Chains A and B, each alone.
Chain A
Amino acid sequence: MNVKDNLFEVIKTNASQKELNWIETKATSSLQSLQTAFVATTRFVSKTSVNTFEKLKGINFNTWNLDKLVRSYFLVCLDVADEVSYTKTLNTLFETAENNEAVALISSLALLEHPENWLLRATDAVRSNIGIVFDAIAFENPYPQEFFSELAWNQLVLKCIFNDKSIHKIQGLDDRANKELAISVSNLAHERWAAGRTIPPQAWRLVTNFLDETIFEDIKKVFDSEDYKNQLAAALVCKNSGFLPAKNELKKHIELEQKVKDLSWSFLEV
Chain B
Amino acid sequence: MCQKESEIKQNPSHFEGTDEELEMSKTIQADFMDYVKGMKFFDPHIHMTSRTTDDYTALVDAGVVAIIEPAFWLGQPRTGLSSFKDYYSSLVGWERFRSSQFGIKHYCTIGLNSREANNEALAEEVMEILPLFLYKEGVVGVGEIGFDDQTAAEEKYYRQQLELSKEAGLPVQVHTPHRDKKKGTELSMSIALEHGIDPGMVIIDHNNEETVESVLDKGFWAAFTIYPFTKMGNERMVELVKKYGSQRIMINSAADWGISDPLAVPKTAALMKIRGISDEAIKMVCYQNAIDAFAQSGQINVADFETPQEIDQSLKFNGNTVLRGGQIPRVDKNSIFIS
Contact = CB atoms under 8 A, between A and B. Distances in A.
Interface in A122-168: 129-132, 135, 162-165
Nearest to B89: A96
A163 B89 contact: no
Nearest to B135: A40
Contacts of A135: 314
Interface string B121-164: 00000000101110111100000000000000000000000000
A129 B318 contact: yes
A162 B312 CA distance: 18
A98 B132 contact: no
A152 B319 CA distance: 20
B316 A163 contact: yes
Main secondary structure of the interface of A (DSSP, over half): helix
B316 A100 contact: no
Interface string A25-45: 000000000011001101100
Given A39-B132, A95-B85, A98-B136, A131 B319 contact: no
Contacts of A162: 319
A237 interface: no
Contacts of A100: 137
Contacts of B305: none
Interface residues of A, number: 24
B94 interface: yes
A6 interface: no
Contacts of B129: 96
A247 to B, nearest CB: 35
Contacts of B132: 35-36, 39, 92, 96
A159 to B, nearest CB: 10
A80 interface: no
A97 interface: yes
A188 to B, nearest CB: 12
A96 B129 CA distance: 9
Interface of A: 35-36, 39-40, 42-43, 92, 95-102, 129-132, 135, 162-165
13 contacts: A36-B131, A43-B135, A92-B132, A96-B85, A96-B88, A96-B132, A97-B89, A98-B89, A99-B97, A101-B136, A129-B317, A130-B93, A163-B316
